[in-house]
C-alpha cells in the first residue's frame, strides 16, 4: 500500500475511532442522565471541583505508571508525548471489549517510534499492575462487603496475592516470552525489571487513592459520609473499578462499577444516596477522561505549530523504540 493511501486509511480509522468513542460515552451516560440531573443540583461546587481534581490527578499518575512500564520495556517517552498517547488511547475503554485502548495506543505509539508489540505488552502489563494494586487498595472495603450483601464481589480481592506473584519479573518475563513464542512474534528486546515494576506499582497505588478520593468527596457531599468512613469509599471505588475491568464486554465497566460501589456505600448511607454517588461519579469520570484527552491532544497540536517560519520538530524513530526530535 502506498504512503498517501496508507495515511488516508489511518486517518479514516482514527475518525471512526473518535465517532465510536462518542457513541460509547453517550451509551455510558444516557440511561443515567435523569438521575444525574436531579442530583447535580444538590452537589456543591467545592466538592465537585475537588472530585474532578482528584480524578484528574489519578489519571495523571496512571499515565506515569503506564509510561514507567513502557520505559522499562525499552521505549521511554517524554511526558507530553506519553500523555497524548495514553489519554487519547484510553478513550477506547468506552467501546465494548478491552482491546481498543491497546489498539489506539499502539497506533499512536508507532508514530513516535514505539513498536506496536511493545505498546500492546505495556498496556497489558500496566493493566495487570492496575488490577493487582486496585485489589490491594480494595481490601479496605472488605468489612463492608462481608457485613452487607456484597460478598459475591469479594472474589475480586483474590487478584491481590495471586497478582503480586504473577507480576514478579522472574515469573512474568518467562510468561511473556512464552506468549510471544505462541503468537509467533519476536520476544521483547528488554525484559522487565524489579525496579520498573515497583515504580509502576507505587504510582498505581497513588492512582487508586486519588480515584477513591473522588468517590469519598462525592459521598461526603451527597451522602453525608463521615471523614472516618473515607477509607471505605476509597476501597469500594477501587474494588468497583477492578470488577468493571474484569467484565470485558461492557464499555468502561458500565453498570458493573456502579453496582459494586452502591453495595459498598449503602452500608453507611441510604441506598438512594449511594446510587446518586455512583451515578454522579460516572459523570465526573467521563468528563475528566474527555477533558484530559482533549487537553493532551490540543497541547501536542500547539507544540507542532511552526515558530518564526521554521518547520516544527519531527519525531524520529531510533533503534530500540526510542525517539529523538530532528530539527531543521
Q: Which residue has the higher pLDDT, 301 or 192?
A: 192
**Residue 301 pLDDT > 70:** no
User: Is residue 190 over pLDDT 60?
Assistant: yes
Q: What would the grid cell of residue 273 be?
A: 444516596
pLDDT band at 223 (very low <50, low <70, confident <90, very high): confident
Instruction: From 138, 160, 158, select the one nearest 233 (Cα to Cα).
Output: 138
In a domain, 325, yes or no: no
Q: Report whether 312 contacts 303 (CB < 8 A).
A: yes
Q: What is the pLDDT, as a whole number, of residue 328? A: 32
The highest-confidence range among 163-172, 187-196, 198-207, 247-256, by mean pLDDT, is 198-207
| Phi, psi of 307, rounded to the nearest 5 degrees | -120, 125
| 14 domain-assigned | no
Is 231 domain-assigned? yes
The pLDDT assigned to 151 comes to: 56
Domain that includes residue 271, residue range: 20-301
Percent pLDDT > 70 in the chain is: 70
- Position 290 in a domain: yes
What integer is the mean pLDDT of 293-321? 58
Per the domain annotation, does 306 fall within a domain? no
| Residues 119-145 pLDDT 10s | 999 999 999 999 999 988 988 887 777
Cα separation, 264 vs 283, in Å, equals 19
What phi and psi, each to the nearest 5 degrees, are found at residue 186? -65, 145
Residue 206 maps to a domain = yes
Residue 31 has pLDDT above 70, yes or no: no
In a domain, 86, yes or no: yes
| Count of domains forming the chain | 1
Q: What's the pLDDT at 19?
A: 58
Residues 6+ apart with CB under 8 A from 298: none
pLDDT reported for residue 56: 96
Output the DSSP codes for 237-293.
HHHHHHHHHH-TTSGGGTTHHHHHHHHHHTTTS-HHHHHHHHHHHHHHHHHHHHHHH
In a domain, 11, yes or no: no
Residue 72: pLDDT band (50, 70, 90) is very high
Q: Are 126 and 65 in contact (CB under 8 A)?
A: yes
How high is the pLDDT of residue 308? 47
Reported as a pLDDT band with limits 50, 70 and 90, residue 23 is: low
Highest mean pLDDT among 173-187, 211-225, 306-320: 211-225
Average pLDDT over residues 26-47: 65
- The pTM assigned to this predicted structure is 0.78
Q: What is the mean pLDDT of the chain?
A: 79
Least trusted range by pLDDT, from 81-85, 252-256, 264-268, 302-306: 302-306
Amino acid at each position: 500500500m502506498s504512503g498517501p493511501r496508507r495515511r488516508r486509511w489511518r486517518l479514516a480509522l482514527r475518525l471512526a475511532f473518535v465517532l465510536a468513542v462518542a457513541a460509547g460515552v453517550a451509551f455510558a451516560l444516557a440511561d443515567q442522565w435523569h438521575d444525574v440531573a436531579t442530583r447535580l443540583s444538590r452537589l456543591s461546587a467545592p466538592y465537585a471541583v475537588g472530585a474532578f481534581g482528584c480524578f484528574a490527578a489519578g489519571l495523571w499518575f496512571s499515565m506515569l505508571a503506564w509510561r514507567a512500564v513502557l520505559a522499562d520495556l525499552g521505549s521511554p517517552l517524554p511526558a507530553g508525548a506519553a500523555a497524548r498517547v495514553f489519554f487519547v488511547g484510553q478513550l477506547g475503554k468506552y467501546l465494548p471489549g478491552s482491546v481498543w485502548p491497546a489498539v489506539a495506543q499502539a497506533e499512536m505509539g508507532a508514530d513516535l517510534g514505539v513498536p506496536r508489540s511493545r505498546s500492546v505488552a505495556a498496556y497489558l502489563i500496566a493493566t495487570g499492575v492496575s488490577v493487582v494494586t486496585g485489589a490491594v487498595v480494595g481490601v479496605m472495603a472488605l468489612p463492608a462487603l462481608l457485613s452487607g450483601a456484597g460478598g459475591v464481589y469479594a472474589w475480586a480481592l483474590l487478584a491481590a496475592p495471586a497478582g503480586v506473584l504473577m507480576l514478579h519479573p522472574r515469573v512474568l518475563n518467562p510468561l511473556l516470552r512464552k506468549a510471544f513464542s505462541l503468537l509467533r512474534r519476536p520476544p521483547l528486546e528488554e525484559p522487565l525489571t524489579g525496579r520498573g515494576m515497583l515504580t509502576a506499582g507505587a504510582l498505581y497505588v497513588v492512582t487508586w487513592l486519588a480515584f477513591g478520593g473522588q468517590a469519598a468527596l462525592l459521598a461526603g457531599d451527597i451522602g453525608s459520609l463521615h471523614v472516618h468512613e473515607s477509607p471505605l469509599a476509597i476501597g469500594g471505588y477501587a474494588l468497583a473499578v477492578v470488577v468493571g475491568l474484569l467484565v470485558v464486554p461492557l464499555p468502561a465497566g458500565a453498570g458493573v462499577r456502579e453496582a459494586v460501589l452502591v453495595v459498598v456505600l449503602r452500608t453507611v448511607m441510604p441506598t438512594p444516596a449511594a446510587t446518586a454517588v455512583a451515578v454522579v461519579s460516572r459523570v465526573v469520570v467521563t468528563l475528566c477522561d474527555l477533558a484530559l484527552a482533549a487537553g493532551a491532544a490540543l497541547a501536542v497540536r500547539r507544540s507542532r505549530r511552526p515558530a518564526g517560519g521554521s518547520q516544527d520538530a519531527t519525531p524520529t524513530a531510533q533503534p530500540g523504540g526510542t525517539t529523538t526530535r530532528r530539527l531543521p
